[in-house]
Chains A and B, each alone.
Chain A
Amino acid sequence: MGKRPASRRAIVRLLVLIGPSLLYLLTFFLFPLLLVFAISFGERGTYGGVRWVLNLQNYVRFFDPLSLRIFGRTLYIALATTIICLVIGYPLAYFIGTRSPRWRNGLLLLLMIPFWTNFLVRTYAWLLLLRDAGVINLVWTGALHNLVSALAAAVPIPLWQPLLQATASPIRIYGTDSAIIIGLVYGWLPQMVLPCYAATERLDFSLVEAAQDLYANRFKSFTRVILPLTMPGVVAGSILVFIPSLGAYITPDLLGGAKSIMIGNVIYSQFMSARDYPFGSAVSFLLMAVMLIGTLIYFRLGTARTHVTDEGGI
């Protein structure tokens, strides 16, 4: 008898505590999501509105060769960005994580300083660096080309010929997938470094010494002890880079030129210029599904990797 009011009080307290965030999520997350989901089954009105019918037309439309090619490129760019971030970010995180505490904070600060500048501005800076008449190509076709010409004049050997030819014209980076990948890696690198750093910092280095005491050389102590124990950081970092790369919009817009576009740009143009809300919503939903499935698979792989010795050992 005496228990009922107590448990009711507990429910009230629970509602009071989680109520605000629950309300926030319902209003600004779940409701818009459902709205977009509903729109994705609708039809574009003649003047851009939504006609509320129930069809799968928008989803079917996505599976045309053009959309699929853009989608494939998006996947490739996001994957390449994640892998490059991992290859650069993990060693960097490990380096920072193994410094003395005094150095660590300074190094982390250096990592974060660029983020005090607006993302758009920083991406625009890459445009100025990469484009045909950009800083890099000015040096390439200017100073470097002149230097090679001078050397070729002074020491006439055939070795210079390919170099002369290469520096005669600018390198085409702007407007390619590579430009987008460079921009994305630059943008999301800290998202990889921070979780990897946290994992490294948490790593108990007496375990590494124990491995070395038990005849594991540096490589073996890395693959058998350090990597498995920092794997949670690798998984978290990869997801934090992969997801925003998949949905990237500003970077491909600025650095990808007219040709290299990603799925984010498709969604943007459906909503802002084509005014085809239903198709834009359908593409958004497909992208979300891919993100969700990709994340789940990756989590599985990541946790399986941590316990790989279950089967791999004895």
Chain B
Amino acid sequence: MTPRQNAVQLSQVSKRFGRVTAVDDVSLTIEDGEFFSLLGPSGCGKTTTLRLIAGFELPDRGDVFIGGKRQGETPPYQRPVNTVFQNYALFPHMNIAENVAFGLIMRKVPKQDILRRVSAALEMVRLPGMEHRRPDQLSGGQQQRVALARALVNEPQVLLLDEPLGALDMKLRKAMQLELKSLQERVGITFVYVTHDQEEALTMSDRIAVMSRGRVLQVDPPHEVYERPLNRFVADFIGETNFLVGVVKAAGRGKATVAVDGQLPLEVPAERLPGTGEEVTIAIRPEKISLHAEPPDQRAVAGTVDEVVYFGTNTCYLVALTDQTTVTVRCQNQQVGQHVSFPQGARVYLHWQQESVRLLRE
């Protein structure tokens, strides 16, 4: 018996729609009180995974557990979860108070409690006094809050959110991200949050499951997913990454020596040791590379500046190696007047900390 109970567990769950396998052998354990995100490109099966937990879809294979209880074919209205729908799905024929009270009325909560809990919920999402408005009289952001209140008022074991901020504009979205996160910490309810926005997932989540084509590729805290991607897809989908192809010169003691662009061999940390002579891909983030006019040590790679793009907080250099691969380098602009250190055509040396590089499994 672990002290922290699992809020949700998916065990080898698969779901097909005709020829499409929307969810493919997914196993996940989501802990109680966790802010857990499902992240992946559109069509990768995030919504289907959420619907499997909510009970709107039943798995073809595998089991869904909520609070340790196997759900089987339990209908949605008997599961201890609530959903914030992507399009909010507020009832247009009811006012805000009736919308929020709906779940409580269905569960036959006493009327005094309903009134109290509804106004507390509207207070919580900072919409007091809106009780008698109709959904179409509210802005998108306000509707979003009502949807949140309507779900949270039921105090579910797990709250499922399907791209809840997707329809909001950029500024409102950023504000709501912070608000959602602090709300989750306050109420302590497990959130399962679906998004295709990697930045959103990184800033809000305790853990992220990165999905692609119905499969879960990696489940880790944000910094792990970012700093230590397990494979090329994760490295590519989250943030910017340079992929460099090299040949292994030697391998041993958790390290591989790789020659990139036929240049001086570099040492790369490797969990799984590749064979000598094998062609491998190494990944390095643009902001982890520094540029130098002279090689700072033996481990630098030489190139030529192809293009310089000024971004305000940083300047981006596209550096061409001799084998025509282009490496993106981002340099933070820490000092005024220093935004372009290397002009187009300049000969530069790329340098990075050994630990910044990832040797990728495909």
- A residues neighboring B (CB under 8 Å): 204, 206-207, 209-217, 220-221, 224-225, 228-229, 306-307, 309-310, 313-314
Contacts and interface: CB of A to CB of B under 8 A. Distances in A.
Given A214-B102, A229-B92, A313-B98, A206 B111 contact: no
Nearest to A310: B95
Contacts of A310: 95
Interface string B91-114: 111110110011101110001001
Nearest to B131: A314
A214 B82 contact: yes
A209 B118 contact: no
Give the dominant DSSP class at A's interface. helix
Contacts of B77: 212-217, 221
A6 B247 CA distance: 81
13 contacts: A209-B56, A210-B85, A210-B91, A212-B76, A214-B77, A215-B103, A216-B77, A217-B77, A221-B77, A229-B93, A309-B93, A313-B95, A314-B111
B97 A314 contact: yes
B263 to A, nearest CB: 56
A229 B94 CA distance: 11
A211 B114 CA distance: 17
B304 interface: no
Closest 8 CB pairs of A and B: A214-B103, A210-B89, A215-B106, A313-B98, A206-B89, A212-B76, A213-B83, A212-B77
Contacts of B150: 214
Interface of B: 54, 56, 75-78, 81-83, 85, 87, 89-95, 97-98, 101-103, 105-107, 111, 114-115, 118, 150-151, 154
Nearest to A225: B91
Nearest to A208: B89
Best-buried of B89, B101, B115 by chain A (most CB within 10 Å): B89
A211 B54 CA distance: 12
Contact of B106 (A206, A207, A220, A306): A220
B59 to A, nearest CB: 17
Contacts of A221: 77
B173 to A, nearest CB: 21
A126 to B, nearest CB: 40
Given A206-B89, A207-B92, 13 more contacts: A207-B89, A213-B76, A213-B77, A213-B83, A214-B103, A215-B103, A229-B92, A229-B93, A307-B93, A309-B94, A313-B98, A313-B101, A314-B118
Given A216-B77, A313-B105, A314-B98, A228 B93 contact: yes
A217 B74 CA distance: 12
Nearest to B102: A214
Contacts of B78: 215
A206 B98 contact: no
A313 B97 contact: yes
B135 to A, nearest CB: 11
Nearest to A313: B98
B89 A209 contact: yes
B89 A313 contact: no
A309 to B, nearest CB: 5
A228 B93 CA distance: 8
A203 to B, nearest CB: 11
Given A212-B76, A309-B94, A206 B102 contact: no
Best-buried of B76, B87, B114, B151 by chain A (most CB within 10 Å): B76
Given A212-B76, A214-B150, A314-B111, A207 B91 contact: yes
